[in-house]
Amino acid sequence: MNLVRNTLSRFVSSGQIAGCAIKIIRKDETLYEDAFGYADIESKTPMSSESTIFPIASMSKVVTVAGIMQLYEQGLFKLWDPVSEYLPGFKNPTIALEKPDGSYEIVPAKGQVTLRQLFTMTSGVPYAGKDTAAARIADQKGDEYMAAHNGMIPATVEYANLVGQLPLAFEPGEKWMYGFSIDVLGAVIEVLSGKTLGQYLKENIFDPLGMRDTGFYVPAEKQSRIATLYHIRDGMKPDQRNYPASRPIFESGGGGLFSTVADYSRFAQMLLHGGVLNGQRILGRKTIDLISTDHLTPQQQATHSWDTQRGYGYGLGVRVMKNPEIADINGSVGEWGWDGAFGNWFCVDPREDLTCVYLTTNLPGDHYRFIPKLMASMYASL
């Protein structure tokens, strides 16, 4: 694995990132495990694949998908169910229909948002932001809510119901668009299980897999182990955000988890082995197959156009490799996984019997600068 070592070492020694940690497991043996650079530059705290705790951002999504698919296996819902069966805020959806002059019109949607559309990011539920009229409305309504509630965020189910009352970016199922969808699925877990999202995931995924450092908050005694995020385009300026030391009111199934390379590797190995690890069954083999199958129609695939998604389809909350030659990656058809906003990335490769978990601390993530190089070195080493 000298190629991987040299590539990651160069990322750090060249000043492009502050540090990273990685674990590659193949055929149930650790093929490569290492860490580079600093978890905190100022205190010179070294990175560690075992002890450094990372905010994993959207790598949380795959954990939430695994959690709700356990409930699917129990026959508690169907993928094509309307979301409004579980979250009444999604009844009578509307669309913010944009006009050429930049204005918009609110019109009734023709169809209901389904759970399947949440899984596949084809729901039209946006992230708050500036990209679409629906995202701008969500941004404005979020600011108004915070102002009216002294800066407090609503709890998970209440949050999802409020989001359901906002306009969609397009007709449900019309396009692929990354957004708040998996957070809504986290709220559905709460409705179906009667437990908080964090409690459900702890009892049904984290504890059975021995993921001792994974959750929606980091207890006070572990806070010093959290890696500092760095603004990699701004002279490696450290980010000053604070992290919860107790359970947050809103548990973000789409982006709120903390974990370590060691913990997340256990989760990835469970996915690779058909839902089982060390005798603990988390999901059925056929459920894993369903998650890791491309679900997009040709029309939806046409809008699945990120640089990092070249050659990939999209399953239930995960990318799915279809054309390595289009992706410009020397990997395998059927490789799947996801990444996170801070440069984090993981993959499950059934063809090579391999998982890789790579965690880092980049603001922005700049995945397309780094991940193809990591993948090229990893696959060349097999």
Given a cut of 90, is residue 158 above it in pLDDT? Answer: yes
Task: Determine the angle formed by the axes of helices 181-193 and 156-164, rounding to 10 degrees.
Answer: 130
Q: How many percent of the chain have pLDDT more than 90?
A: 97
CA distance 168 to 125: 5
CA distance 107 to 120: 23
Mean pLDDT over the full length of the chain: 97
Residue 173 is predicted with a pLDDT of 98
Given a cut of 90, is residue 139 above it in pLDDT? Answer: yes
What 3-state class would DSSP assign to 205?
helix
- Give one DSSP letter per residue of 230-273, joined into a string: EETTTTTEEP-----SS--SS--TTT--EE-HHHHHHHHHHHHT
**Percentages of the chain per state (helix, strand, coil), in multiples of 5:** 35, 20, 45
Residue 160 is predicted with a pLDDT of 98
The torsion defined by the Cα of 209, 204, 69 and 269, in degrees rounded to 10, comes to 0
What 3-state class would DSSP assign to 212?
coil
Q: Are 250 and 156 in contact (CB under 8 A)?
A: yes
Beta pairing partners, 312: 321
Domain with CATH 3.40.710.10 in the chain: 2-59+212-380
State the DSSP code for 71.
H
pLDDT digits over 174-209, tens only?
Answer: 999 999 999 999 999 999 999 999 999 999 999 999
Task: Determine the angle formed by the axes of helices 181-193 and 60-73, rounding to 10 degrees.
Answer: 40
Segment holding 107, helix H or strand E: strand 104-108
Given a cut of 90, is residue 243 above it in pLDDT? Answer: yes
Residue listed under structure tokens 């980049």: 362
pLDDT digits over 26-44, tens only?
Answer: 999 999 999 999 999 999 9
Greater confidence (307 vs 169) lies with 169
Residue 46 is predicted with a pLDDT of 98
Q: How far apart are the first and last CA of the chain?
A: 8
Residue 100 is predicted with a pLDDT of 86
**In the structure encoding, which two tokens stand for residue 365, read together?**
């993530």
Task: State the pLDDT confidence band at 340, using cuts at 50, 70 and 90.
Answer: very high
CATH of 2-59+212-380, one of 3.40.50.2000, 3.40.710.10, 3.30.70.360, 2.40.30.20: 3.40.710.10
Residue 101 is predicted with a pLDDT of 86
Given a cut of 90, is residue 373 above it in pLDDT? Answer: yes
pLDDT digits over 1-28, tens only?
Answer: 999 999 999 999 999 999 999 999 999 9
Q: Are 224 and 233 in contact (CB under 8 A)?
A: no
Residue 313 is predicted with a pLDDT of 98
Cα atoms in the Cβ-side hemisphere of radius 13 Å centred on 251: 27
Enumerate the H helices of the chain as residue ranges: 2-13, 60-73, 115-119, 133-148, 156-164, 181-193, 197-201, 207-209, 261-272, 285-291, 298-301, 324-327, 367-380
Mean pLDDT over 337-361 rounds to 98
- Sign of the Cα torsion 120, 123, 129, 133 reads positive
Least confident of 2-11, 162-171, 180-189, 305-314: 305-314
CA neighbor of 338 nearest in space, from 356, 350, 351: 356
Residue 102 is predicted with a pLDDT of 81
The torsion defined by the Cα of 315, 318, 320 and 326, in degrees rounded to 10, comes to 120
Residue 75 is predicted with a pLDDT of 98
Residue listed under structure tokens 């984090």: 344
